A = this chain, B = another copy of it.
Amino acid sequence: MSREAISISDDSVALVKRLLSETARRVDEHLLQYLPEVGQPAQQVTEAMRHSLTGGKRIRPMVVLQSAGTFGLSADAAMPTACGFELLHTATLIHDDLPAIDDSSLRRARPSCHAAFDEATAILAGDALIIAAYDALATQAQIEAVAPGAVLQVIAEFGAYAGAGGVIGGELADIHGETVGTDRELLEYIHLNKTAKLFEAATRAGAILAEAPGEHIEIIGSYGRSLGLLFQVTDDILDVTSSAEALGKPTGADEQAGKQTYPALVGLDGARQHARDLAEQAVVLADRLPANHPFWRGLVKLVLDRQA
């Protein structure tokens, strides 16, 4: 399929860019309330959490908020859950960067957590962020427009997508993948679990809170999964083609570590074609949603064309 098959207006992309910038500002206003001010002697753990939260693009929270909005819940009403996804995502970044895992000293254009503090603090700050993520999800129950049962369903799904059967399992596979030759099945497992499942969970979460029909939760979840797979393929591509300055994290790291990536498996052109296929899949799913089409289509193009 050709690039032109994905016809997405520039207006849609502009809409998403504007929303992303607005969302980032609003999420940043809410995020820090989930960091306990513990005072001395443990204040450093909060400082480390705050350090690592700084500078994220907040794509996952935006996805939660827009999914809620698509099904009739005001985006603001889903803010606690949106924050929960960013807190968990940041926890995984901190632990991924540790010397025993990816050993990366740059993240979000700043020193990674263990580089700015120390390993012990980074391990504990990551743990505390996982817990803070659940604090945020539980706080969602204080929003009157949302049913307690929906909040509990989001909490239960969050674990299924983020835990050993999702993000955490994907991270272990990612490490394992460095020790073996290119392997499509393993690569697909890593992309699905490490990255796509959290996008899937984020799209589903907004819809669940809005009490969308089951069929719509499935469609937006599948969209989220395709978008997440696209996000990871473009991440692989940028690791080859971009600079640390543009990305705010080291580039060339995947090849150096011998990671499973699409550029390694099928070359850069093959990876770009795979990205376009995933974008097309996502657009087909976006068009089956009941509302917000310009946003969901524009988001696909934003991720497909992202330079950072």
Binding-face segment, A8-16, A43-51, A104-112, A284-292: A43-51
Verify A42–B172 contact, CB threshold 8 A: yes
Which of A151-159, A233-241, A272-280 sits within the interface? A151-159
A52-60, A67-75, A114-122, A210-218 - the one binding chain B: A114-122
Q: Which of A36, A49, A172 has the most CB of B within 10 A?
A: A172
Tell me how far the C-beta of A98 lies from the nearest C-beta in chain B, rounded to whole angstroms: 6
Q: How far is the CB of A270 from chain B (nearest CB, A)?
A: 22
How many chain A residues touch B (Cβ–Cβ < 8 Å)?
58
Asked if A127 is an interface residue, CB under 8 A from chain B, the answer is: yes
Can you add 15 more A-B contacts, CB < 8 Å, to A101-B120, A141-B149? A41-B172, A42-B170, A42-B172, A42-B173, A42-B176, A45-B168, A45-B172, A46-B164, A95-B127, A100-B123, A124-B171, A124-B172, A131-B163, A135-B159, A135-B163
- Checking B49, B141, B151, B193 against A164 with a beta-carbon cut-off of 8 angstroms, the contacting residue is B49
> Within residues 147 to 186 of chain A, which ones have a CB less than 8 A from any CB in chain B?
148-149, 151-152, 155-156, 158-160, 162-165, 168-173, 175-177, 186
Task: Tell yes or no: A271 within 8 A of B by CB.
Answer: no
What B residues does A141 contact at CB under 8 A? 149, 152, 156
**CB <8 Å contact, B98 and A165:** no
Inter-chain CA distance A231–B52, complex, in Å, is 34
**A205 part of interface (Cβ distance < 8 Å):** no
User: Is residue A35 contacting chain B, with contact meaning CB distance below 8 A?
Assistant: yes
Bound complex: CA A24 to CA B8 (Å): 59
Report whether over half of chain A's contact residues are helix, strand or loop; otherwise say mixed.
helix
Q: Interface digits, A122-145 against B, CB 8 Å rule (1 contact, 0 not)? A: 011111101110110011010000
Bound-complex Cα distance A195 to B138 (A) = 24
Asked if residues A138 and B156 are in contact (CB atoms below 8 Å), the reply is yes
Q: Find out whether the CB atom of B41 lies under 8 angstroms from the CB atom of A173.
A: yes
Q: CB < 8 Å: which of B42, B95, B159, B177 contacts A131?
A: B159
Q: Mark interface residues in A81-104 (1 if CB within 8 Å of B CB, else 0).
A: 000000000011001001011000
- State whether the Cβ of A1 lies closer than 8 Å to any Cβ in chain B: no
> CB < 8 Å: which of B45, B126, B135, B186 contacts A169?
B45
In the bound complex, what is the Cα–Cα distance between A100 and B119 (angstroms)? 6
Cα–Cα, bound, A49→B41 (Å):
30
Contact B176 A159 (CB under 8 A): no
Partner of A159, one of B132, B163, B164, B173: B132
Nearest B residue to A175 via CB reads: B120
Whether B155 contacts A134 by the Cβ 8 Å rule is: yes
B95 pairs with A176, CB closer than 8 A: no
- Cα distance A105–B121 when bound, in Å? 20
Contact between chains at B169 and A42 (CB < 8 Å)? yes
